[in-house]
Amino acid sequence: MENEGAHLAPETIPRLFDAFYRPDPSRNRQTGGSGLGLYLVKTIAGRHGGRCSIQNTGRGVEACLMLPGSIKTPYNA
């Protein structure tokens, strides 16, 4: 899945899947969640033999979740 618009700061990308990590320096609960969402995605994917990644692209940010037997296809909402 790819969004268009703002990119993520390069130094935050390696930490996005860390438990309780929130890139917002204020850590204000009004502007975000607990920081567990991407950690849980990575954990569940890993237990099924899969992997996930997030990267900046020319147009925005791309999130990818790959599970065994899956093929990469464009996300169509």
Quote the pLDDT of residue 34.
80
Residue 70's CB is within 10 A of a number of other CB atoms, namely 9
Q: Is the dihedral of CA 12, 29, 60, 72 positive or negative?
A: positive
What is the per-residue pLDDT across 14-73, written as a single tens digit (0 to 9) for each?
999 999 988 776 656 666 678 899 999 999 999 999 999 999 999 999 999 888 887 766
Residue 74 has pLDDT above 90, yes or no: no
d(CA 66, CA 64): 6
Q: What pLDDT sits at residue 1? A: 73
